[in-house]
Amino acid sequence: MKYNNLLDAIGNTPLVQLNFKSEARIFAKLEYLNPGGSMKDRSALYMIEEAERLGILKPGGTIIDASSGNHGVAVAMIGKIKGYKVIICVFEKCSNEKLQTIKSYGAQVIVCPNTSLISDPKGYHSVALELHKNTPNSFMPNQYFNITNAIGHEMSMGPEIWKQTEGTVTHFFAAAGTGGTISGVGRYLKKQNPNVKVIAIDSNHSFRATNGNPKPYKIEGIGMDFDTPVLDKDVIDDIVEVSDENGLGMLKTLSAEHGFLVGPSSGAVAWAAYSYISKLKPTDVAVIMFGDSGRAYLSKGFYDYEEVTKAEIVLEKPAIEEIEIHMPAKETQINL
Ligand SMILES: Cc1ncc(COP(=O)(O)O)c(C=O)c1O
């Protein structure tokens, strides 16, 4: 594939079969291979270009939003390419890698305390709204409440999965945060074949899963924690609740045994799909979304399979009595 612009390289990610012990075929949609490292490139691009089309986002403007990290990375990358200033509010739980990535694109990052309720005035969403109100010529994609978030996925990932499976897909599994991915892709697939089953993955500690008594959880990006028009409940057939223990526990299996170094939400999705296997028929074709890469979470220690082995060479007697080290002269030039 050859593109004139990085933005044109968003999407068209591979679909790769997983060798889970199942008679049904299970494919992973490798969304971490998008230029910004997640499927959020698709929805962010759609929301930003829709705002440009409507004249809400004008040249010289500032894009401000709240994000669990990946939407922020996507907005920062797209904003840089299109020449906008970008400010992203994240919560403390956001991995340092994602935070540093947003900054690497030249965007400003504001870290807000972790909160259980999206309406908390100290939380990242409220801070972003306030900042947007007080910043002239600013646009807030507002991914948590803007229905074009889901439309972005309906227009891009949905048709790709349908085409890549040649219309044979029977199940789609994805983690739900804003609900944009599961709703958009689910809607597209169900329009093609109403029998396709759409399965959302939620944290077992989310607002929805605990009937309004949310508890903290470590998995980033997922959690049905608020009522939003982005989530299209009509297309969701089933919701699987996953604990931190099960979702994060799956990460080591995926990386060290299957070669997929994926992020925590993908661990939760893989665990949910694995626990669903007994419900699948041999003719079924399940697609599960791997939303981002484990490289964005390495510092969290989720993948520490074994200690790094330090080479220790113990010599009875030094092999060489004296070693002369010749340092290059200061003015030595290294030509790359
Ligand atoms: C890696 C990852 N997976 C899943 C999700 C949830 O996707 P959505 O917000 O479209 O529901 C997110 C959201 O940020 C994410 O970053």
- Ligand 1: nearest atom to the Cα of 264: 1
Among all chains, which residue has been given the structure tokens 């705002």?
51
Give per-residue pLDDT as tens, 142-178.
Answer: 999 999 999 999 999 999 999 999 999 999 999 999 9
pLDDT range class, residue 304, cuts 50, 70, 90: confident
pLDDT range class, residue 127, cuts 50, 70, 90: very high
Q: Ligand 1 pocket test: which of 29, 41, 70 has the largest number of ligand atoms within 8 Å of its C-beta?
A: 70
Confidence at residue 335, expressed as pLDDT on a 0 to 100 scale: 44
Q: What average pLDDT is seen over the chain?
A: 93
Give per-residue pLDDT as tens, 70-112.
Answer: 999 999 999 999 999 999 999 999 999 999 999 999 999 999 9
**What is d(CA 128, CA 142) in angstroms, rounded to the nearest whole number?**
9
Distance 316 CA to ligand 1 centre (A): 56
184 contacts: CB under 8 Å, gap ≥ 6: 43, 149, 150, 151, 152, 153, 154, 155, 157, 158
Confidence at residue 116, expressed as pLDDT on a 0 to 100 scale: 86
pTM: 0.91
Among 231, 48, 63, 64, residue whose Cα is nearest residue 147: 231
At 110, phi and psi to the nearest 5? -115, 120
pLDDT of 320 strictly over 80: no
- Kindly list the structural domains of the chain, giving each domain's residue range(s) and its CATH number in brackets, ordered by start: 11-35+150-300 (3.40.50.1100), 40-139 (3.40.50.1100)
Burial 72-85 (b: 16+ CB within 10 A, else e): bbbbbbbbbebebb
254 lines ligand 1 (CB under 6 A): no
Among all chains, which residue has been given the structure tokens 């510092």?
299
30 contacts: CB under 8 Å, gap ≥ 6: 13, 14, 15, 16, 290
221 lines ligand 1 (CB under 6 A): yes
Give per-residue pLDDT as tens, 219-276.
Answer: 999 999 999 999 999 999 999 999 999 999 999 999 999 999 999 999 999 999 999 9
175 lines ligand 1 (CB under 6 A): yes
223 lines ligand 1 (CB under 6 A): no
